[in-house]
Amino acid sequence: MSANFYDETGLAGSGVQKRFSELYRAVIARLGVEDVFEVDVTLTDEETIHTLNAENRGVDSVTDVLSFPVMDGVLPFDETAHEDDRDPETGLFMLGDIVICHRRAEEQAEEYGHSLERELCYLFVHGLCHLFGFDHETDDQKAEMRAVEEAALTECGVTREV
Q: Tens digit of pLDDT for each residue in 111-127? A: 999 999 999 999 999 99
pLDDT at 74: 85
Judge whether residue 95 has pLDDT over 90.
yes
Residues 6+ apart with CB under 8 A from 65: 98, 99, 100, 101, 123, 124, 126, 127
Reduced to 3 states, what is the DSSP secondary structure of residue 22?
A: helix
pLDDT at 62: 97
Kindly provide the residue ranges of all beta strands, DSSP E only, lying in the chain, ordered along the sequence.
2-7, 37-44, 65-69, 93-101
Q: Tens digit of pLDDT for each residue in 10-49? A: 887 778 888 999 999 999 999 999 999 999 999 999 999 9
Task: Work out the angle between the directed axes of helices 139-155 and 116-131 (0-180°, nearest 10).
Answer: 130
> What confidence category does residue 1 fall into, taking pLDDT thresholds of 50, 70 and 90?
low
pLDDT at 140: 79
Lowest mean pLDDT among 5-9, 52-56, 125-129, 148-152: 5-9
**Averaged confidence pLDDT in the chain:** 92
CA pair distance 19, 16, nearest whole angstrom: 5
Q: Tens digit of pLDDT for each residue in 52-64? A: 999 999 999 999 9
- Give the chain's domains with CATH numbers: 2-155 (3.40.390.30)
